[in-house]
Amino acid sequence: MTSIMSIIVHARRDEEASVWVATSNDIEGLAVEADTMEELAPKVEAALTDLLELNGTSSLIH
């Protein structure tokens, strides 16, 4: 049986700091920033992988 996990990630531009910031209410501890949206995406993916592994749900990552 395959499980599906939905994670909503919010990305916003912090104009004062001149960076994009990604957070999520679904994954505690997710807070990633980058200069561009293109740089943000792989950082979010890496952080999610690490956080899910720490929370014991890494078997859900494919």
Cα separation of 22 and 36, whole Å? 11
Confidence band of 4 (pLDDT split at 50, 70, 90): confident
Residues 6+ apart with CB under 8 A from 34: 19, 20, 40, 43
| pLDDT score of 51 more than 50 | yes
Cα separation of 34 and 54, whole Å? 23
Confidence band of 48 (pLDDT split at 50, 70, 90): very high
Q: Is the dihedral of CA 44, 45, 50, 54 positive or negative?
A: positive
| pLDDT score of 49 more than 80 | yes
| pLDDT score of 62 more than 50 | no
- Taking residues 10-18, report their average pLDDT: 97
